[in-house]
Amino acid sequence: MIRSNPVKARLAAGRKSLGLWLVANSSMNAEIVARAGVDFVIIDHEHGPGDLMGAAAQMQALRSGSIGAANDDGRAPGGPAAFIRVPWNDTPYIKRALDTGAEGIMVPYVETAAEAEVAVRACKYPPAGNRGCAVSAIRATGFGHDSAEYWNRIDGEVCTIIQIETQKGVANIPEIAQIDGVDILFIGPTDLTATGGFNPTVPAAEARAIIESAEAAVKASGKPMAAVPHSGHSPAEMFDRGYDLVAAGSDLSLIR
């Protein structure tokens, strides 16, 4: 059975979503996080050491760890939504991540509408995209048990998250947001600071101004806005600033 994407459902209902990064490639960490009350996780394959076998184990742990957990605040049964941040805007990797069972794909360092379209097409089956069709053989369909339902529904359930991390990307937000299938724009404050010529480990008013310009552009586009907490803001303050999703911390940061 293919469930509705919990984050998309919350966005449609006007609800905010709180998430956590899974960086350590640990299924035990994922099992613990399943009961932590978050709405989504991002399994990080850009900076984390994990692979898709590790991601599959973490997604299994997210589901099993959520069994019997309290379902408060309208959270979906089956645990938090499982997103994978891929290493790059790489069509084959995106396809494999989705086949493994990811409910959303975050694509880093997108700078143009053309690049965003590449990401979207990799996330959708023909005719809307170029995702390869192997529905009878992939984990995402229960290895074929849910093939028909998956084919009929999944293009509308997968979350395509575009990460904005450069000033060129910020300048092109209006065009990127116009690409059909871009679901969420995720501001990357650390890379925005670094690509703007500032030390991301040292707070600077000029760097904050770059981030604020990205926020303004995303808000003007009408797309849901996401980020990690930045500029000293708590997750609650980020929501007050207009963010729809906040990925607040990681499994590693919580045990560091």
Name the strand (E) or helix (H) holding 249: strand 245-250
Question: Cis omega before residue 174 (within 30°)?
Answer: no
Beta bridge partners of 246: 18, 227
**Over the stretch 124-159, which tens digit does the pLDDT of each residue have?**
999 999 999 999 999 999 999 999 999 999 999 999
Residue 166 DSSP code:
S
Positions marked active-site: 47
**Over the stretch 197-243, which tens digit does the pLDDT of each residue have?**
999 988 888 889 999 999 999 999 999 999 999 989 999 999 999 99
Mean pLDDT along residues 89-113:
99
Other beta carbons within 10 Å of 14: 7
Domains of the chain, residue spans: 6-255
SS3 106: strand
Dihedral angle sign, alpha carbons of residues 235, 239, 242, 244 = positive
Compute the C-alpha angle 211/213/217, nearest 5°.
115
Q: What is the CATH number of domain 6-255?
A: 3.20.20.60
pTM of the complete model: 0.96
Rounded-to-integer distance, Cα 147 and Cα 243, Å:
35
